[in-house]
Chains A and B, each alone.
Chain A
Amino acid sequence: DGGITQSPKYLFRKEGQNVTLSCEQNLNHDAMYWYRQDPGQGLRLIYYSQIVNDFQKGDIAEGYSVSREKKESFPLTVTSAQKNPTAFYLCASSHSDSYYNEQFFGPGTRLTVL
């Protein structure tokens, strides 16, 4: 089954701790994305990567970091510098051979800071 997976589904962390959210895809997509969604809000772009070993900041990159060492994987680290990390985090992927490509989303990780 092709798809995009995120783990864990729910994550709790104490203030001051870094935490890494996993995102894996087996769709052979070059491009991957991380979004954050707060209650009643749309998706806001954190980081995106169009190719291995390259990534760009989105609108709200402060307090987050990413890596793209493999095509299939795009982990997101929420650092202690992120002031309001409690949110629903969504990972997505798409082809990059054309601009007219839809994004495929994972099921999301709900992060709660205690």
Chain B
Amino acid sequence: SQKIEQNSEALNIQEGKTATLTCNYTNYSPAYLQWYRQDPGRGPVFLLLIRENEKEKRKERLKVTFDTTLKQSLFHITASQPADSATYLCALAVNSGYALNFGKGTSLLVTP
């Protein structure tokens, strides 16, 4: 069956450090992978999309890598800030269509 796995343990880091979150998947042949941010009690907000032929994508302090051989994506936040504290979700397309399957998310806490 298709699975998306993200670290279930919360990630605690100090302000200014780089946070790295992992997303592993099995039984997908994704054309792309997406990352979202979710704050408590709110809907997710889209951050980045990376296509299968892209190794790396950047947006301001965010960087995503996508390794289809390892079946893994890494999400980096450089110079992290307390405002980056949230849950981060990765998502893959259902049957190569428009709907998404989401991982359970990794909670990030950035302390001053």
Residues of A bordering B, CB below 8 Å: 31, 33, 35, 40-45, 48, 50, 56, 58-59, 88, 90, 92, 94, 96, 99-108, 110
Contacts and interface: CB of A to CB of B under 8 A. Distances in A.
B83 interface: no
Contacts of B93: 99
Q: Which 10 A-B pairs have the closest CB atoms?
A: A105-B43, A102-B46, A42-B104, A43-B102, A42-B102, A48-B99, A31-B98, A105-B44, A90-B43, A108-B43
A100 B49 contact: yes
B34 A102 contact: yes
B32 interface: yes
Contact of A43 (B41, B89, B98): B89
B51 interface: yes
Contacts of A102: 34, 46, 49
Contacts of A43: 44, 89, 100, 102
Given A45-B94, A56-B99, A108-B41, 10 more contacts: A40-B104, A42-B102, A42-B103, A43-B100, A58-B94, A90-B43, A99-B31, A103-B44, A108-B42, A108-B43
B96 to A, nearest CB: 7
Interface of B: 4, 31-32, 34, 41-46, 49, 51, 89, 93-94, 96-105
Contacts of A59: 101
Nearest to A101: B98
A88 B38 CA distance: 13
Given A33-B99, A42-B105, A96-B98, A104 B46 contact: yes
Contacts of A56: 99
A4 to B, nearest CB: 8
Nearest to B104: A42
Contacts of A99: 31-32, 93, 96-98
20 contacts: A35-B102, A40-B104, A42-B104, A42-B105, A43-B89, A44-B102, A48-B98, A50-B97, A50-B98, A59-B101, A88-B41, A96-B98, A99-B31, A99-B96, A101-B98, A103-B44, A103-B46, A105-B44, A106-B43, A108-B42
